Structure 1
């Protein structure tokens, strides 16, 4: 009995000592673990996104009138729309004051925002008469955007670099045109944003040059998710060139693995972008279902599903 008691006391003491030592190790390790966790950056997907999802009427909604746009976007939980000119919605400069007011009311009374108007005006032409005409036509479109209650403004674009003109001269001309339009847009509570678009003009460093020449807070960029975003020094470098000027985002089909869409959405969130991401996708015989899938992938890429 005495031997068993001494053995029990001995083994119990050793066990307690071991537990105490283990506890000491755990307490010592705990601050180190907390310090390591604090040192590691918070994943971008853990940050709540403030971006909103919408659609461009080009092409999926090009044959929809306004009631259909509102109905389908509401069902798919798309929060906004960019109305591209020439499409069935009919929001054009030919609308009367009463018709413009009706468009504004339809969207104001719905859960879908009329975010912007998508024009096809560009300013790269060497024909100065045409350039002046396009600038004046854009101003009419800016007034239309104000009248129908567009929340952001008007999308414009360049569409290439004329071969007979030095590149620098064309970029400066586009920038000066945008600057003039920025002043006009500001007086109407709107913004003008240039789509990263066109052969040569879709190179992001060229768009940065346009922004520098325009030099106006109401002039910005419509990021267009082109493969040229990866050119030169790569996506990160190009995105950082214009990230503070991005006012709108166009996105193709998100399943395309040739483009880093998850990286784009992370970069937008990290930059503090709170605007619209617009789906610019092909027409479908089952559009609402496609839009629902699109929204799910858009959320999943941000870690929100």
Structure 2
């Protein structure tokens, strides 16, 4: 999600990025410039589809409403963000899980996974352990519902802690989560999120500390992705780990603040065949109003995807 905490400490570029990344970033920048200058690959098919994160458009809708609206609009998949009215939570009993799974199947909507707030950056090891165990509960839930993954996030760097140490800590925690996910046949998606941690170079460092095949990145369409009007450099850094993708206000393309046409072109060119999931901060308690918004959103998405 796009909400970003105000930074708790002031870090130099050296502290944040780490000296060891300089050479790698230089190579990525060269590749990104080359990719940005390539002509659009009009032949490349669009293999990804539009999905919905219940944050925040559908936060006040129960599950039958979410599924009905997705059917009406033509949205293929749903990521159920925790604490919302849909009620898809680890507290569900076995029969309730079967009922939720059946509702998705009957509606013809893919249960993509759960959006959690599990995070592993805290200075207190007990807090990190609590979040790992909570992540495992969501892993079991997603497995039982036939979903694909569990979205987790970093949420910054604690005050007074070296960023490099925090990046390593997050990566190591993700290894344990990744092992549990692999055993369950699902994935972990690390949202590019939080002050300092959302910087693409730093997310790349976190993933390099993890290096578990069941753990990947959830692209989050942040302003920090953009360098000189392009996301090519950030995309090149994170493409090897890309497993899910959140998109937000598509009007930002016309405003010149986020190049969605370019992002979608890059997704087409790399053969991304999953979902770009609408994650917009405004809630729509009025279902009719929310449905109308999503219909407009899909039309805009289709135009941008075609370039």
Give the TM-score of the pair, scaled to structure 2. 0.83
> Equivalent of 1:177, from 168, 173, 178?
173
User: Are 1:289 and 2:286 counterparts?
Assistant: no
State the partner residue of 1:186.
182
- Residue 61 of structure 2: SS of its match in structure 1? coil
**Selected match of 1:91 from 75, 88, 100:** 88
Corresponding residue of 2:60: 63
Cα distance in 2 for partners of 1:45, 1:127 equals: 50
Aligned mate of 2:303, from 295, 300, 305? 300
Q: What's the offset of the Cα at 1:232?
A: 9.0
**Over residues 75-103 of structure 1, what are the superposed CA-to-partner deviations in whole Å (9 max), with x where a residue is unaligned?**
00000110000000101111101101111
> What residue in structure 1 maps to residue 33 of structure 2?
none
Call closer, same or farther: CA 1:231–1:243 in 2, change over 3 Å: same
Distance 1:46 1:291, change over 3 A: farther
Question: What's 1:9 paired with?
Answer: none
Q: Give yes or no for contact 2:104–2:110 (8 Å, CA) kept in 1.
A: yes
Aligned to 1:268: 267
Judge which range, 209-218 or 234-243, deviates more: 234-243
Relative contact order (C-alpha < 8 Å, sep 6+): which is higher?
2
CA contact (8 A) 1:203 1:231 kept: no
The alpha-carbon distance between structure 1 residues 296 and 234, as it changes in their structure 2 partners (threshold 3 A), is: closer
Q: How many residues align?
A: 263
Gaps in structure 1 of 5+ consecutive residues? 1-40
State the SS of the aligned residue for 1:53: strand
Q: Deviations over 1:198-244 (max 9, x none)?
A: 01110011110111111111000010000000259962111101112
Alignment check: 8 A CA contact 1:56 1:82 kept: yes
TM-score (norm 1): 0.83
What secondary structure is seen at the aligned counterpart in 2 of 1:187? helix
Q: CA RMSD in A?
A: 1.6
CA contact (8 A) 2:230 2:259 kept: no
Partner residue of 1:163? 159
- In structure 2, distance between residues paired with 1:164 and 1:261: 36
8 Å CA contact 1:244–1:271 kept in 2: the answer is no
Name the larger-Rg structure. 1
Mapping of residues 1-305 of structure 1, within 5 Å: 43-150=40-147, 152-231=148-227, 235-256=231-252, 257=255, 258-281=257-280, 282-284=282-284, 285=286, 286-303=289-306
Query: Structure 1 residue 298: deviation in Å?
Result: 1.0
